Amino acid sequence: MKDIIAVEGGVKLSGEVRAEGAKNACLPIMAASLLCEGRVVLQEVPPLEDVLTMCKVLNALGARTKYDKRQKKLQIETPAVLKTKAPYNLVRKMRASFLVLGPLLARTGRAGVSLPGGCAIGIRPIDLHLKGLKALGAEVIIGHGYIETVAAKICGERVYLDFPSVGATENIMMAAALAEGTTVIENAAEEPEVVDLARFINAMGGRVSGAGTDTVSIHGVASLKGVEYTVIPDRIEAGTFMIAAAITGGSVTVKNIIPAHLTALIAKLREVGCEIEEDEGIIHIFREGPIRAVDVKTLPYPGFPTDLQSPMMALLSLAKGASVITETVFENRFMHADELRRMGAQIKIEGNSAIITGREKLYGAPVRATDLRAGAALVLAGLAAEGRTEVGALYHIDRGYFRFAEKLAALGARIRRL
Ligand code: UD1
254 - beta bridge partners? 17, 283
3-class DSSP state of 412: coil
DSSP 353-365: EEEEE--S--B--
pLDDT value of residue 52: 95
Q: Is the pLDDT confidence value at 1 over 50? A: no
Question: What's the pLDDT at 306?
Answer: 97
Global pTM value: 0.96
Ligand 1, residues 124, 232, 399: which to mutate, most atoms within 8 A of Cβ? Answer: 124
N-term to C-term CA, the chain: 7
Pocket of ligand 1 (CB under 6 A): 24, 27, 95-96, 122-129, 163, 165-168, 189, 193, 306-307, 329-330
User: Looking at ligand 1, which residue's alpha carbon is closest to its atom 15?
Assistant: 24
Contact 212, 182 (CB under 8 A): no
Query: What percent of the chain has a predicted confidence (pLDDT) above 90?
Result: 89
Coil, strand, or helix at residue 281? coil
Q: Which of 55, 119, 155, 274 is catalytic?
A: 119
**Looking at the predicted structure, is the pLDDT value of residue 118 above 70?**
no
**Residue of 140, 163, 190 to mutate, ligand 1, most atoms within 8 A of C-beta:** 163
Per-residue confidence (pLDDT) for residue 332, from 0 to 100: 80
**What is the pLDDT averaged over residues 70-78?**
97
CA–CA separation, 415 vs 409, rounded Å?
Answer: 6
How far, in Å, CA of 7 to CA of 64, rounded? 40
Q: Which numbered atom of ligand 1 lies nearest the CA of 118? A: 39
Cβ burial, residue 279 (10 Å; 0-12/13-18/19+): exposed
Of 137-151, 251-265, 294-308, 333-347, the least confident: 137-151
Cα 282 from chain centroid? 20
Q: Tell me which residue of 62, 58, 64, 128 sits closest to 90, measured CA to CA.
A: 58
Atom index in ligand 1 nearest the CA of residue 123 equals: 26
Q: How many angstroms separate the CA atoms of 327 and 331, rounded? A: 7
Ligand 1: which atom is nearest the Cα of residue 96?
8
Does residue 274 have an active-site annotation? no
Best CA proximity match to 221, nearest among 174, 169, 167:
174
Half-sphere exposure of 101 (CA within 13 A, CB side): 34
- Give nearest CA residue, ligand 1 atom 21: 165
Instruction: Output the CA angle 188-230-278, nearest 5 degrees.
Output: 75
